[in-house]
Amino acid sequence: MPTIGIADTTFARYNMGRAAIDEIQKNVSVQIKRVTVPGIKDLPVAAKKLIEEEGCDIVMALGMPGGKQKDKMCAHEASQGLIMAQLMTNTHIIEVFVHEDEGKDEKELAFLMDRRTREHALNVIKLLFKPEKLVREAGTGQRQGFEDAGPLRM
């Protein structure tokens, strides 16, 4: 049975790990390993350990960069670390970041954090079990959270 790793943070203002696990378990039967770290800069090593030490086949890295400039910098650094961890392990780490200023209020932010997490959980399932489904969606302007952009109309 494949193993999906879930790494999330205490900094986030919504329980993204719980949403991811709920969505995965609604759709497939897999083993899940979850870790929670303080913030997004702690996600790269947490994800790498899930892959190398816990045998995860794919990992979701879930986090919420804050709205300040230093948080944006922090998110960029965390992203680079996550990409490095993917290259070091030859394993996908699906980064799900929702910036705190993406929602116009707390309700919209919570909605977005839930939706983006769940939509990326479905992407993880496709990457693991049905990669041909993603090929069918190529070029269709998929977005996770708010509505899809859609394909270009010509």
- Give the position of tokens 């959980």: 121
Give the number of other Cβ atoms within 10 Å of residue 119's Cβ: 16
**Nearest residue by C-beta to ligand RDL?**
39
Half-sphere exposure of 42 (CA within 13 A, CB side): 12
Question: Site residues (CB under 6 A) for ligand RDL?
Answer: 9, 11, 38-42, 63-66, 70-71, 74, 94-95
- Closer Cβ to ligand RDL, 1 or 131, answer by number: 131
CB of 128 to ligand RDL, least distance (A): 14
CB of 154 to ligand RDL, least distance (A): 20
Residue 114 vs residues 53, 63, 88, 100, 120: alpha-carbon distances, Å: 28, 12, 29, 13, 10
- Closer Cβ to ligand RDL, 1 or 5, answer by number: 5
- Closer Cβ to ligand RDL, 29 or 147, answer by number: 147
Angular region, 66: left φ>0, alpha ψ -120 to 50, beta rest:
beta
Strands (E), the chain: 3-9, 31-37, 58-63, 93-97
Q: What is the DSSP letter of 152?
A: P
- Closer Cβ to ligand RDL, 21 or 85, answer by number: 85
- Closer Cβ to ligand RDL, 29 or 38, answer by number: 38
CB of 146 to ligand RDL, least distance (A): 12
CB of 122 to ligand RDL, least distance (A): 12
CB of 88 to ligand RDL, least distance (A): 16
